Amino acid sequence: MLLLGASGSGKSTLLAGLAGLLEGGHSEGVLRVEGVDPRGARDRTGIVFQDPESQLVMARAGDEVAFGLENRCLPADEIWPRVDGALDQVGFPYGRDRPTDALSGGEQQRLALASAMALEPGLLLLDEPTANLDPDGAALVRAALERVLDGGRRTLLLVEHRVAEAVALVDRVVVLQASGGVIADGRPEAVFAERGDELAAAGIWVPAHPLPIPTRRSGGAPAPQLVADQLAYRFPGEGGLAVGPIDLEVRSSEALAIVGANGAGKSTLALLLGGLLRPTRGSVRAAGSLASRSEEPVWRWPARGLAAGIGSVFQNPEHQFLTGRVIDELTLAPPHAGRSAADARARADDLLGRLHLDGVAEANPFTLSGGEKRRLSVATALAADPAVLLLDEPTFGQDRRTAVELLDLLAALRDAGTAVCFVTHDAPFAAALADRTLRLSR
């Protein structure tokens, strides 16, 4: 079954409930797995969360997959063949000894999926399992799921925004309403044929409804804002380079997409460009209007200078939350960039409205849905009006409506002169926004 719905409609919460992981709060009605309370069926249920990092507990990849099997008290001679088989099923590119803290987001996602599949659960719950995967990796995961489901021995409940590719896996589509209840329930071909236009208008991903390409507004000629010269980085204790050497310009009035396979170094490159990692070799320097801030390499800039000039949106949005309220997140950076408190609040209110966060302004950022966290992380970077905006997987966890809003917002910033650089596996989003594409290879 494919579970669809707008951001905040409760898709991830329903999966957590079915996995027996909801405690506290207020609930109504009855939830059963194989006729019992979900907490009594945990040994027959496997789940992969929207944020794979949140479920990794071991230091090595093989131990991570073995962890659940050991807790089930399987004999040792059965554990490691199942570990190797699960890693192979999802196309994990390393052996058992790979450190889990050296994995990219997409590699973490494959490892978490392998850990769930190794348990051979009767009910498999997957929350955006291919969102951080490159196209080849996503195809490998879908092929693995086809093999796992072959013969009808398992039930799959899937939350996925790559709907066109996921349809072949499912027999049924259920669409949740943001205010509660179900909008549609039926076979995929019937639901999409009869209600596709309506669902797309409601902000739900459906096949054959591509993202609209924003109209390009007249803007200034692109000019370098960041210049990377023979930029390279090696993780401590590793032999080869994770990135580079690369020569690259990030230019005003231009959107640059960074694409490539998982583990190719895309997120590392974004951190280097944002001054958040010290290069092993080469440098990143400001140019053009940004150069007036400092002649130092950007990794030497103080936090105040980075916040005012270069906005970064991390792959994991929780890594950049610093306060206990959404509105406080949005008013934190502007004063450091020389904005008045009144200007900061006005900017925050505008971003809350544009990114559909006004209803959660007083909420704790860590209690938001995955899609809301991503939009908040984008908003915090935009709050100080930086000259350069660097985003890592900006559409992760977004419904169609907010993806369109984000596309229009970034296009408007680009056309107004901001240098926009984004890491993505979302090919339609890149095609709609990017003026130039840099493809990294492993």
How many other C-beta atoms can be found within 10 angstroms of the C-beta atom of residue 199?
A: 24
Q: List pLDDT tens digits, range 171-197.
A: 999 999 887 889 999 999 999 999 999
- Which of 115-124, 131-140, 188-197, 426-435 has the lowest average pLDDT? 131-140
Q: List pLDDT tens digits, range 375-416.
A: 899 899 888 889 999 999 998 878 888 888 889 989 999 999
How many other C-beta atoms can be found within 10 angstroms of the C-beta atom of residue 120?
A: 16
> Is 72's pLDDT higher than 80?
yes
Average pLDDT along the chain: 90
User: What are the DSSP calls for 326-385, one per residue?
Assistant: HHHHHTTSGGGGT--HHHHHHHHHHHHHHTT-GGGTTS-GGGS-HHHHHHHHHHHHHTT-
SS3 149: helix
Q: Are 440 and 264 in contact (CB under 8 A)?
A: yes
Q: Which CATH number fits domain 2-201: 3.30.200.20, 3.90.1150.10, 1.10.10.10, 3.40.50.300?
A: 3.40.50.300
CA atoms within 13 A on the CB side of 1: 15
The domain limits of the chain are 2-201, 224-440
Q: Are 173 and 4 in contact (CB under 8 A)?
A: yes
> Is 151's pLDDT higher than 70?
no
Summary count for the chain: helices (H), strands (E): 14, 14
Instruction: State mean pLDDT over 78-82.
Output: 95
Closest of 50, 24, 135, 47 to residue 315, by C-alpha: 50
Cα dihedral 387, 390, 396, 401 in deg (nearest 10): 20
> Is 422's pLDDT higher than 90?
yes
pLDDT (0 to 100) of residue 385: 86
Angle CA 435–436–442, to nearest 5: 145
Enclosing H/E stretch for 158: strand 155-159
Angle CA 259–429–213, to nearest 5: 135
> Is 350's pLDDT higher than 80?
yes
Burial of residue 345 (CB within 10 Å: 0-12, 13-18, 19+) is middle
Q: Are 69 and 43 in contact (CB under 8 A)?
A: no
Q: List Cβ neighbours of 343 (8 Å cut-off, separation of 6 or more).
A: 334
SS3 53: helix
Using CA atoms, how far residue 398 sits from 4, 98, 370, 429, in Å, is 12, 31, 8, 12
Using CA atoms, how far residue 132 sits from 25, 52, 90, 160, 359, in Å, is 30, 10, 14, 11, 28
Q: Is the dihedral of CA 209, 257, 132, 371 positive or negative?
A: negative
Q: Are 215 and 199 in contact (CB under 8 A)?
A: no
Backbone angles phi, psi at 175, to 5 degrees: -110, 120
Chain centroid to CA 121: how far? 26
How many other C-beta atoms can be found within 10 angstroms of the C-beta atom of residue 119?
A: 20
Burial pattern 248-258, b for ≥16 Cβ within 10 A else e, equals bbbbbbbbbbb
Q: List pLDDT tens digits, range 2-12.
A: 999 987 788 98
Whether 2-201 and 224-440 share one fold: the answer is yes
pLDDT (0 to 100) of residue 380: 92
Q: List Cβ neighbours of 302 (8 Å cut-off, separation of 6 or more).
A: none
Chain centroid to CA 267: how far? 12
> Is 106's pLDDT higher than 90?
no
Q: Are 299 and 275 in contact (CB under 8 A)?
A: yes
Using CA atoms, how far residue 80 sits from 59, 102, 211, in Å, is 16, 22, 44
Q: List pLDDT tens digits, range 226-264.
A: 999 999 999 887 778 889 899 999 999 999 999 998 888
What is the CATH number assigned to the segment(s) 224-440?
Answer: 3.40.50.300
